[in-house]
């Protein structure tokens, strides 16, 4: 791994951790020595990356630090693409449409040399041939985010219509079903 890539990976690891991470943990994840981590942390600090902590106690990024550019590795782009392709097949029309928007936004900010990873990806999702009813669950997702109850009207298997006030907790998905836990 090039040093620049390793420094970027080091920043990414520190960004996703809430607690200080020891040099030993960083060295293990990056497959380098602790001494290399010490040098890399000193180099980042010299480049004005706000790494807090010290050898022996662990390191973390200042909570207000934000990298100026949105950069992805090839593997990260493949993970994003795979996730978007899965969401496009979910039984939720609103989320599927938003997946197209995400793909468009990402396409507009990645370098041209990585565009082929989105258009000609090495990963794919098996197309779902099942007939799927795609309910609009936008209001349910909003209620979950806002932590509020909603009124549901649904038809049971025996064709009896029921109305209930529920407190939605989470929406679960597989490729053919949407499950509300409330």
**Residue 84 in domain:** yes
CATH at 35: 1.10.10.10
**Residue 99 in domain:** yes
pLDDT at residue 62, as a whole number: 86
Residues 34 and 79 in one domain: no
Residues 78 and 55 in one domain: no
CA gyration radius, the chain: 22
Total number of domains constituting the chain: 3
**Residue 66 in domain:** no
**Residue 69 in domain:** no
* Verdict on whether the full-model pTM lies above 0.75: no
pLDDT at residue 147, as a whole number: 95
For every one of its 182 residues, what pLDDT tens digit does the chain have, with 9 covering 90 and above?
A: 788 889 988 988 998 887 899 999 999 999 999 999 999 999 998 888 889 987 678 999 887 776 655 667 778 888 888 888 888 888 788 888 888 888 888 877 777 777 777 767 666 677 766 666 677 788 899 999 999 999 998 888 898 999 999 999 998 887 777 889 99
**Residue 129 in domain:** no
pLDDT at residue 36, as a whole number: 94
Token pair of 126, please? 């098996």
Residues 54 and 11 in one domain: yes
C-alpha dihedral over 165, 93, 174, 151, to 10 degrees? Answer: 0
**Residue 90 in domain:** yes
Closest to 137 in 3D by CA, of 91, 74, 98, 73: 91
Residues 56 and 78 in one domain: no
**Residue 30 in domain:** yes
Residues 103 and 142 in one domain: no
Residue-number span of the structural domain to which 172 is assigned: 138-181
**Residue 97 in domain:** yes
Q: At what angle do helices 112-119 and 93-109 cross, to 10 degrees?
A: 150
pLDDT at residue 97, as a whole number: 85
pLDDT at residue 70, as a whole number: 63
pLDDT at residue 114, as a whole number: 73
80 touches 106 (CB < 8 A): yes
pLDDT at residue 21, as a whole number: 93
Residues 113 and 156 in one domain: no
Tokens 């790494």 -> residue: 51
Residues 7 and 48 in one domain: yes
């Amino acid at each position: 791994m090039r040093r620049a890539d390793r420094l970027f990976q080091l920043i990414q690891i520190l960004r996703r951790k809430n607690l200080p991470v020891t040099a030993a943990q960083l060295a293990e994840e990056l497959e380098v020595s602790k001494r290399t981590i010490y040098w890399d942390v000193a180099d980042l600090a010299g480049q004005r990356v706000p790494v807090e902590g010290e050898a022996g106690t662990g390191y973390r990024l200042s909570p207000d630090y934000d990298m100026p550019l949105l950069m992805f590795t090839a593997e990260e782009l493949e993970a994003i693409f795979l996730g978007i392709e899965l969401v496009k097949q979910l039984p939720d029309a609103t989320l599927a449409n938003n997946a197209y928007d995400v793909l468009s936004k990402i396409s507009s900010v990645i370098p041209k040399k990585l565009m082929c990873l989105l258009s000609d990806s090495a990963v794919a999702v098996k197309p779902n041939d099942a007939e799927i009813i795609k309910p609009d669950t936008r209001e349910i997702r909003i209620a979950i985010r806002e932590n509020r109850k909603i009124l549901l009207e649904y038809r049971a298997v025996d064709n009896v219509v029921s109305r209930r006030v529920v407190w939605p907790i989470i929406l679960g998905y597989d490729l053919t079903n949407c499950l509300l836990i409330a």
